[in-house]
């Protein structure tokens, strides 16, 4: 093998030179209203693999040398403008020379225990046509680039707030199969699961949550009465932080006012290309802030490559419902009653088949109604469903419920 220009190591190219190569390989700045995130200080920090304060110092030096220009531009998903950087003509010429310098080197590519000494251009092909910036970020002091699958595997994260206690689960195999098919499909990113109170939306979503934990980064949030938009975002930021993503966390610092529209870009970047699923249980249709927040999260999920979101609701109240349905982003699923056999398994005592048939007809397979009927909690039962006088008379006749006056 031709040795070309010798072995590449992490110190062969300086930090400033790595930044120039990164800017050369980044999407161009088309106008002052639309700047790719990669051209910002945070984008440079992440792609080159250096601390943000090092970026600031490096940019001052590169501007002084006339290699870069500073611009003020909006980043997609954010409202306020950020500092961005573009190459000058001399910076472009310098970056092209640097890329040629790197291309003339060789590296030791390590993959699953097998080492291959390759020219940089061939190594980049072996890495799936990776960028020079990515290779420079990975190469060590000995010129080794380790792309072993074992090293690349990411630990999956499961985070929950308000997760209910798991109870015995009966039936719903068909519904679980529908959820699984939706999760693995490339179609709708968001699924709205609706059903009346007590129909088992939370139980079904909870079973799916536990089944999905080994497959994806999994997030659960229950919208209790005391929860707010801010508490939801805080939980989501903890989830991302557990995944090693901190864009949303940076927006959640104490004393810092949260700008919901800036949150969108942060959520989208934290979701990235990872396989994630977000479950929002009993999403409420209350307040403009909550509606705006869900709209922002839905849009970020719609743009994320491998993220899905499941929303359970008693009544459909998804923002921009028609638009998302038309775009093919949103799917809807109605949860109906349990089958007879599964409902019978809910009972704590044995009753006659005729009594059970009457219970099943009156409850229409609603698990909560079945349990209330058996327990004789008539006031609670009547609160959950409007019964006709004939149905109430039948309940009294059955003597299943007590205290009817």
pLDDT, tens digit, 9 for 90 and up, residues 339-356 = 777 766 666 566 666 666
* Residue 10 domain-assigned (yes or no): no
Residue 269 has pLDDT above 90, yes or no: no
> Does one domain contain both 272 and 347?
no
> Does one domain contain both 140 and 112?
yes
The CATH number that applies at residue 113 is 1.10.10.10
DSSP 170-222: -S-HHHHHHHHHHHHSSS-SEEEEE--TTSSHHHHHHHHHHHHTTTSEEEEEE
Residue 167 has pLDDT above 50, yes or no: yes
pLDDT one-digit tens code per residue, 17-67: 999 999 998 876 654 445 566 788 777 887 888 877 788 899 999 999 999
Residue 217 has pLDDT above 90, yes or no: yes
Residue 264 has pLDDT above 50, yes or no: yes
* Residue 236 domain-assigned (yes or no): yes
Give bridge partners of residue 310 from the DSSP assignment: 191, 279
d(CA 296, CA 74): 17
Structural domain span for residue 205: 158-334
The CATH number that applies at residue 174 is 3.40.50.300
> Does one domain contain both 325 and 243?
yes
- Tally of domains in the chain: 3
* The predicted structure's pLDDT at residue 255: 61
Mean pLDDT value across residues 146-169:
73
* The predicted structure's pLDDT at residue 253: 67
Give bridge partners of residue 308 from the DSSP assignment: 277
The domain boundary, picked from 334, 364, 386, lies at 334
The domain boundary, picked from 152, 185, 217, lies at 152
> Does one domain contain both 313 and 364?
no
Q: In terms of pLDDT, which residue wins out, 261 or 11?
A: 11
> Does one domain contain both 229 and 99?
no
> Does one domain contain both 81 and 188?
no
pLDDT one-digit tens code per residue, 368-393: 666 666 555 444 444 445 555 555 55
d(CA 166, CA 161): 14
The domain boundary, picked from 135, 152, 169, lies at 152
* Residue 197 domain-assigned (yes or no): yes
> Does one domain contain both 327 and 357?
no
**Average of per-residue pLDDT values in the chain:** 77
Residue 219 has pLDDT above 90, yes or no: yes
Token reading at 27: 């999407």
> Does one domain contain both 30 and 136?
yes
* The predicted structure's pLDDT at residue 393: 54
> Does one domain contain both 34 and 107?
yes
> Does one domain contain both 389 and 315?
no
d(CA 156, CA 154): 6
* Residue 8 domain-assigned (yes or no): no
Q: Does residue 80 sit in helix, strand or coil? A: coil
* Residue 5 domain-assigned (yes or no): no
d(CA 399, CA 405): 12
Give bridge partners of residue 108 from the DSSP assignment: 117, 144
> Does one domain contain both 270 and 146?
no
d(CA 364, CA 384): 13
d(CA 159, CA 179): 20
* Residue 404 domain-assigned (yes or no): no
> Does one domain contain both 134 and 203?
no
d(CA 196, CA 105): 65
* Residue 2 domain-assigned (yes or no): no
Residue 328 has pLDDT above 80, yes or no: yes
* Residue 1 domain-assigned (yes or no): no
pLDDT band at 125 (very low <50, low <70, confident <90, very high): confident
Q: In terms of pLDDT, which residue wins out, 300 or 75?
A: 300
């Amino acid at each position: 093998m031709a040795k070309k220009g010798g072995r590449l190591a992490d110190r062969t190219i300086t930090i400033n030179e790595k930044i120039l190569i990164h800017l050369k390989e980044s999407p161009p700045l088309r106008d002052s209203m639309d700047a790719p995130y990669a051209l910002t200080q945070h984008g440079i920090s992440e792609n080159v693999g250096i601390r943000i304060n090092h970026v600031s110092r490096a940019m001052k030096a590169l501007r002084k040398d006339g290699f870069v220009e500073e611009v003020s531009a909006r980043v997609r998903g954010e409202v306020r403008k950020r500092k961005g950087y573009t190459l000058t003509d001399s910076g472009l010429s310098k970056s092209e020379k640097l890329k040629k310098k790197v291309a003339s080197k060789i590296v030791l590519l390590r993959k699953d225990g097998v080492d291959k000494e390759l020219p940089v251009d061939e190594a980049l092909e072996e890495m799936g046509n990776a960028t020079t910036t990515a290779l420079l970020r990975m190469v060590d002091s000995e010129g080794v680039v380790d792309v072993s699958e074992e090293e690349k595997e990411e630990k999956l994260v499961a985070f929950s707030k308000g997760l209910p206690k798991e109870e015995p689960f009966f039936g719903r195999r068909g519904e679980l199969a529908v959820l699984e098919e939706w999760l693995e499909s490339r179609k709708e990113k968001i699924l709205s699961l609706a059903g009346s109170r007590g129909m088992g939306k939370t139980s079904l979503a909870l079973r799916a949550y536990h089944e999905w934990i080994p497959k994806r980064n999994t997030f659960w949030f229950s919208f209790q009465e005391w929860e707010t938009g801010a508490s939801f975002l805080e939980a989501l930021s903890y989830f991302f932080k557990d995944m090693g993503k901190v864009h949303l966390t940076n927006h959640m610092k104490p004393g810092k006012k949260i700008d919901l529209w800036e949150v969108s870009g942060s959520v989208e970047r934290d979701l990235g290309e990872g396989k994630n699923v977000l479950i929002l249980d009993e999403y409420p249709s209350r307040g403009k802030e909550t509606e705006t927040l869900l709209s922002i999260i839905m849009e970020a999920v719609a743009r994320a490559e491998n993220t899905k979101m499941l929303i359970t609701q008693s009544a459909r109240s998804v923002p921009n419902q028609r638009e998302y349905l038309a775009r093919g982003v949103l799917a809807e699923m109605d949860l109906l009653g349990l089958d007879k056999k599964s409902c019978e398994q809910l009972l704590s005592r044995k009753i006659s088949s005729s009594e059970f048939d009457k219970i099943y007809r009156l409850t229409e397979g609603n698990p909560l109604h079945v349990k209330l009927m058996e327990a004789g909690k008539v006031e609670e039962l009547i609160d959950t469903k409007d019964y006709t006088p004939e149905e109430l008379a039948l309940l009294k006749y059955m003597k299943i419920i007590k205290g009817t006056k």
